[in-house]
Structure 1
Amino acid sequence: MAARGRRLFFDFVIEAPTRFSREVQRAAEQVLPCIGSAVCRPRFQAQEIMSEDDVTAALSRIAKLGSHGVCIKARDLPTIRSAVDQLIAAGIPVITLVTDLTTTKRIAYVGLDNESAGRTAAYLIAKTIGDGDGTVLTSRSNDRFLGEEEREVAFKASLNQLCPNLRVIDASGGSGVHVETSRIMQGVVAGLDQVCAVYSMGGGNTAILNALEQNGSLPDVFVAHDLDHDNRQLINDGRLSYVLHHDLHVDLQNVFQAFLHHHRLLPVSPQIAISHIQVITPENIPPVIRRF
C-alpha cells in the first residue's frame, strides 16, 4: 500500500561500449512493469569511455538533483569510491553492476560471478586445445574494472593448472571500443606467429578477430562475454566458439527490488544471487525474446 502512487527515480551511470549500455537500458525498461506498484523511472548516463572526472561529475549532479538510487558500472578508483560514499552519506543507496567498487558502502553488487567465469573460460580452452605448447591471448577493456580483473586472475590460475605449457599474452586497454581495440591488437599480434586461443573479457571482439585474421593467426577457440547484438552475430557466423552469458533481465530485476526494499516498499528482503553463467555455443543460441 505504501508503494502505490509513489514515483521513484533511479539513476544509471555506466562506462561501457554502447552495445552493452543499450542492453542494460533495454533490460531495465522491460522488467520495470513487473516491479511492485510504485512508478519507477530510470535515468541513464552512459558513455563508452568515462574519465574519473566524468564519473564524479555525474555523481555530483545526481546528488544535487536527488535520486532514489544509483546503479553504477565504473572503474575501481579512489575518487570514484569517494564520490559513491558521498552519495550514500546523503541517503542515496548505490548498487554496483557487473563490476564492483571495493571498500564502498554500496548496498549490493549485482551481476556475474566473475571468478567462476574466468575458471570456466580456462576449462573450455583446456578441453578444446589440450595441454600443448602455444599462445593464449587475453583482452580486458580496462585495467581498473574489478570484475574483469577477477576474471583474469581466476582464468590464469586455472589455465596454469590445466595447461601449464601454454603462455598467456595480454592485449588490454581498448575499452571494448572498436577503434582503440584495433590499435592495441595490431601492435600485439604483429609479433605473434600463431594464437591458439583467445579469452576476451571486455568486448571489442570484431576488432580482435579482424586483427588476428589480418595477421594470419586466427585461433582455434575464442571465448567471449555477453550475448549482445555483436556477439550474437559473431557466434552465429561461427567466429566465436563460446560466449559466457548471463541474464541482464534478472540482474536489473535484482537492482530494482534491492532499491525498493531499501525504501521499505517491499515487505521481504530480496535474495540477490550472483548471476549464473550460461555457456552459449553456435548450437544453442537462444532466440531474442521481447519480455513483458
Structure 2
Amino acid sequence: MRKPTLHDVAAEAGVSYATADRVLNKRGGVAKKSQTRVEAAIAKLGYQRDITAANLSRRRLYRFHVLLPNAAGGFFASLRQLLSEQEEAQRKARQAITITPVPPFDPTALALEIDRAVGAGCDGLCVVAVNHPEVSAALGRARAQSIPVVTLVADSAESDRDCYVGIDNRTAGRTAADLILLSHRSHAQRGLILPVMGSLQARDHAERYAGFCEVVADQMDVLPPLETGDDPTRLNQLLTAALAAEPGITGLYNLGAGVPGLIAALDHRGNDNFAGRPVVVSHELCDATRKAVADGLIDAVIDQKPAQELSQALAALTALSDGLALDPTAGQITPAVHFKHNMPPQPAAGPNKGA
C-alpha cells in the first residue's frame, strides 16, 4: 500500500496543492476553514511528511559542530580522521561539519568552545562531555536556544543533552572486571589490581572505574588508580614507577587512552626481568593494541566501535534538527571484546595508530 502524498491530502480536503503546502509548512495566508479541512485530511489519511525530501527541496544545510579532545593519536584522532574521510557523504547529506579540538579534561576550555559554537550559529552540537558545572551550564545555554545536543563517548546529565551515543561505560567496567576475575581463577591468593585512567573528572572513565570496582572489590585488592591525563609519556612514567614499587601487581585495567605509554611500561618491565606479567585489559582497538595483543603484552581489548558511534551521533543530530522523536535505543553501542585469536581483520587503511 502506497503512502499518501500531499496531493492526496489536497484532494481529500478539496483545496489546491499550494494551499495544502502552506498549511503543512505553517506559512499562513490560509482561511481557517481550509486549514481545518487540510488538518483533518492529514489525520484521516495518516499523512507523514518526508522530511528528507523536504529538506532537499529547500536545499537545507545542517551546520553541526563536533567538539573532540585534541589527543595526538588513538581513539579521538580516529574520530577526527573518520569525519574528514566522510566529507563526500556529509556533502550528499547536506551536513557541514565543523570539528573543534579541545584540550582533554579541560572543562573551562570545553565550555568556552560550546559557547563559541552557539555564537557562530549551528544546528546541533556533538560533545565529549566533562563532568563539571561549567560544561553543564554551557550545554544548558545551548539547549535554551533550541540547539540539539548529543554527547559522544562520555555522557553528561540527562537534562544537559538530548541524546547520548556510546557504550554503557559502567557495564564496560564490569566486563573488564569479569575478564580479570576469570584470569585469576587459579590464583591461590587475592589478586592485586591497578586501574589506569585519564581522569576521574571524565564521566566515562569514572563510570568504567565504578563498574569495575563493583565487581572485583570483594574478591581482589584494588590499588588507587593512576590518573595520567591520557598522556602516553606520563602514563609510561607513572606505570613504570608503580610496577617497580609493587611487583606483586597481578592485573592492569587501562580504562582510558595513552596506550603507547602502557606498552612502553610493560616492555620495560619485561626487559628488566621482573617475575611474571600482570593480566592486562585495555580499551580501544587500534594498531598499537592489535600489536600488543599479538605480542602478548595485552590480553583483551574492549572496542567501542568509533565509526558506528560517529554515524549514530550525526544521524541523531539530523533527526533532532528536523524535530523528530528519537528511538529510545538510539545511540546505544554494544562494544566488542577482542583477544589474540578473534581479532577482526585489519582495515585496509585507517588512522588509529595508537590510543
How do residues 266-277 of structure 1 correspond to structure 2 at under 5 angstroms?
269-270=326-327, 271-277=329-335
In the TM superposition, what is the alpha-carbon distance from 1:283 to its structure 2 partner? Answer: 1.2
Partner Cα separation in structure 2 for residue 211 and residue 194 of structure 1: 16
Structure 1, 246-255 or 73-82: larger mean CA deviation: 246-255
Q: CA deviation at 1:206?
A: 2.9
Q: CA deviation at 1:34?
A: 5.5
Q: Find 1:112's aligned residue among 167, 174, 178.
A: 167
1:205 Cα deviation (Å)? 2.7
For the 8 Å contact 2:102–2:109, the answer to whether it is kept is no
The 8 Å contact of residues 95 and 108 in structure 1, kept in 2 or not, is answered as: yes
The one-letter amino acid paired with 1:11 is H
Q: Percent identity?
A: 21
3-state DSSP of counterpart to 1:170: coil
Match of 1:185 among 232, 236, 239: 239
Corresponding residue for residue 227 of structure 1:
285
Cα RMSD for the two superposed structures: 2.5
Residue matched to 1:97: 152
Task: State the alpha-carbon separation in 1 of the partners of residues 54 and 346 from structure 2.
Answer: 36
- The superposition leaves residues 254-275 of structure 1 with CA deviations (integer Å, 9 ceiling, x where unpaired) of 1111111112287x74541421
Q: Does 1:257 align with 2:312?
A: no
Instruction: Give the C-alpha shift of residue 38 in structure 1.
Output: 3.4
- 2:284–2:303 contact (8 Å) kept in structure 1: yes
Contact 1:17 1:175 (C-alpha < 8 Å) held by counterparts: no
Whole-angstrom distance in 2 between the partners of 1:256 and 1:211: 37
2:103 is aligned with 1:77: no
Amino acid at match of 1:222: V
Q: Tell me the residue number matched to 2:206.
A: 149
Displacement of 1:159 = 1.5
Aligned-partner residue type, residue 54 of structure 2: A
CA deviations 1:123-169 (Å, max 9, x no partner) are 111111225323111011001111111111111111235xx1x2111
Between 80-89 and 166-175, the greater mean CA deviation after superposition: 166-175
Contact 1:136/1:168 (8 A) holds in 2 = yes
5 Å-filtered alignment, 1:1-292, equals: 1-4=53-56, 5-15=59-69, 17-18=71-72, 19-29=74-84, 38-49=93-104, 51-130=106-185, 132-161=189-218, 164=219, 166-215=220-269, 216=274, 219-264=277-322, 269-270=326-327, 271-289=329-347
Query: How many angstroms does 1:91 deviate by?
Result: 2.2
Inter-CA distance 199–84: structure 2 relative to 1 (3 Å threshold): same
Moved more, 27-36 or 135-144: 27-36
Output the CA distance in 1 between the equivalents of 2:259 and 2:138.
32
Deviations 1:187-243 (A, max 9, x none): 433320222111110022332343344353663411001112322232233221000
In the alignment, residue 100 of structure 1 is paired with which amino acid? Answer: D
SS of the residue aligned with 2:308?
A: helix
Q: Distance in 2 between matches of 1:46 and 1:277?
A: 25
TM-score (norm 1): 0.88
Structure with the larger RCO, 1 or 2 (CA within 8 Å, 6+ apart): 1
CA–CA distance in 2 between the matches of 1:269 and 1:75?
24
Q: Flag structure 1 segments of 5+ consecutive residues without an equivalent.
A: none
| Residues 1:191 and 1:105: Cα distance change in structure 2 (over 3 Å) | same
Q: Which has the larger radius of gyration?
A: 2
The TM-score with structure 2 as length reference comes to: 0.73
The Cα shift of 1:8 comes to: 1.6
Contact 2:105 2:199 in 1 (8 A): no
- Range moving further from structure 2, 97-106 or 212-221: 212-221
Give the distance between the partners of 1:31 and 1:109, measured in 2 at CA: 21
User: Which has the larger displacement, 130-139 or 183-192?
Assistant: 183-192
State the alpha-carbon separation in 2 of the partners of residues 201 and 15 from structure 1.
16
CA positional deviation for 1:37: 5.5
- What is the Cα deviation at residue 36 of structure 1? 9.9
Q: More strand per residue: 1 or 2?
A: 1
Q: Shift of the alpha carbon at 1:86?
A: 0.6
Query: Residue type of the partner of 1:252?
Result: L
> 2:39 aligns to what?
none
Deviation at 1:279, TM superposition (A): 0.8
Letter of the 2:135 partner, please give it: I
DSSP-derived class of the 1:3 partner: helix
Please tell me the residue identity of whatever aligns with 2:236. S
Distance 1:67 1:218, change over 3 A: farther
2:34 maps to none
Q: Distance in 1 between matches of 2:86 and 2:174?
A: 30
Sort the Cα spacing of 1:57 and 1:99 in 2 relative to 1 into closer, same or farther, 3 A: same
